[in-house]
Amino acid sequence: MSLKAGARDFTDASLLQRPLVVLLTGDSRDTRCLGEKYIHAFEREFFFLDAASVSGKDYGETIDLLRENINKKGAVLLHDLQNLNGNQAQALHVVCDRDSPMVRDAVVVLTADKSLNEIGDKWRNHVSADKLPALLTRIGSRIVAVSSENRLPCA
């Protein structure tokens, strides 16, 4: 993978005055691997959260869980975003807010094996019509499509 135009804010930790939110789309194994490597490039520890594991909780609890762990570690990897239910997705509205950040210099890496449009369609019945576009904008401001390669260090 190579980043070209506008890549400086993907790679320069000194620019983090707001949360850096990146959505990696593609094969689940590859996006997780690349997400871990990406966070390590910022010399951060990270909290790993499989989206399916938070499906039954209230989204306020999810915000608290993420806030606590991002404050401790500086980064979160939310894996398989497509498995997050629409109610839980509302937590990302707070977590990925760049204007009023929950944690100012957080690194938030989201992974998904579906497109942002497909994820939005899944959440449409659970997130109000006035909030869904803003939520999708926050999590989709930086999307990197990951192509599988046998040479990935986690392969």
Q: Say what the pLDDT of residue 7 is.
A: 45
Give yes or no for a contact between 77 and 46, defined as CB atoms under 8 angstroms apart: yes
Answer with the residue of higher pLDDT: 2 or 29.
Answer: 29
Q: What's the token pair of residue 71?
A: 């404050």
User: Would you state the pLDDT for residue 72?
Assistant: 95
Domain 18-145 sits in CATH 3.40.50.12190: yes
Structure-token pair, residue 149? 């390669």
The overall average pLDDT reported for the chain is: 86
Q: Is 144 helix (H, G, I), strand (E, B) or coil?
A: strand
Whether the Cβ atoms of residue 19 and residue 106 lie closer than 8 Å to each other: yes
* C-alpha to C-alpha distances, 125 to 80, 108, 128, nearest whole angstrom: 19, 25, 7
Q: Specify the pLDDT at position 14.
A: 53
Per domain, the residue ranges of the chain are 18-145
pLDDT score of 81 more than 60: yes
Instruction: Tell me the backbone φ, ψ of residue 32, rounded to 5 degrees.
Output: -65, -45
* pLDDT tier, 2 (very low <50, low <70, confident <90, very high otherwise): very low
Residue found under tokens 């939005």: 120
pTM for this entry: 0.88
Pair 23, 144: CB distance under 8 Å: yes
Chain length of the chain: 155
| pLDDT of 144 higher than 80 | yes
Range list of H helices, 12-139: 28-41, 59-73, 86-89, 91-95, 116-123, 132-139
